[in-house]
Amino acid sequence: MGEELKIIFAGPVGAGKTTAIGAVSDRPPVQTEAAPTDEVRQMKASTTVAMDYGEVQLDEDHHLNLYGLPGQERFSYMWDILARGALGFVVMLNSDADPPATQLGLLETGLGQHLREAPVVVTLTGSRRDEHAVVQETRAALSTMEVFWPVMSISPWKRAEVATVLQVLLAELEFANP
């Protein structure tokens, strides 16, 4: 089975954390979906209230335990708890929502320290805006934060694309800890 690695999927509501873990997991994911009671209702029928959990055997040597954070800020006390001991982060941003800098700012407040201690890959989901423009905006926001995380535009319901994100994260991890 190889090494077990804890990976966190973070990001705002609707970025696709639950969708991505469900798409890539080798077994049915554990989900904690509930009907939203607030403005999230306008966006989608359910939101994560505690966590997602999935597992994927990415290759012979790497078994990943995947944890999805709840996107709503009122559940952000869970972020720090779940992020402890994580070896890598997938930061998912919704390009149809607030500017990338705003979404990253929120994550920085709740997870900033964790995101400095392990490799991060940023994904952009959403379809309404020009992909290239949002990637550029995201890169600019990251350089303001003085981090240079890879940025990839993906469809979170496509298993192969989520698996590629995880491969990039593993490559970063191996580069950092040869």
Ligand X SMILES: Nc1nc2c(ncn2[C@@H]2O[C@H](COP(=O)(O)OP(=O)(O)OP(=O)(O)O)[C@@H](O)[C@H]2O)c(=O)[nH]1
Which of 4, 35, 44, 80: binder of ligand X (CB under 6 A)? 44
DSSP 3-state assignment of 16?
coil
Contact 113, 68 (CB under 8 A): no
User: Contact between 103 and Mg ion (CB under 5 A)?
Assistant: no
**18 touches Mg ion (CB under 5 A):** yes
Compute φ and ψ for 39, nearest 5 degrees.
-65, -15
Tell how strand 3-10 and strand 88-94 pair up: parallel
Binding-residue total with ligand X (CB under 6 A): 14
From Mg ion, ligand X, none, interface partner of 88 (C-beta below 5 to 8 A by class):
none
CB of 27 to Mg ion, least distance (A): 18
- The interface with ligand X within residues 137-176 (CB under 6 A) comprises 157
Residue found under tokens 């597992």: 55
The backbone torsions φ and ψ at residue 43, rounded to the nearest 5 degrees and listed phi first, read -95, -45
Task: Determine the 3-state secondary structure of 154 from DSSP.
Answer: coil
Binding mask 59-88 for ligand X (x = CB under 6 A): -----------xx-----------------
- The answer to whether 110 contacts ligand X (rule: CB under 6 A) is no
- Chain contacts with Mg ion (rule: CB under 5 A): 17-18, 48
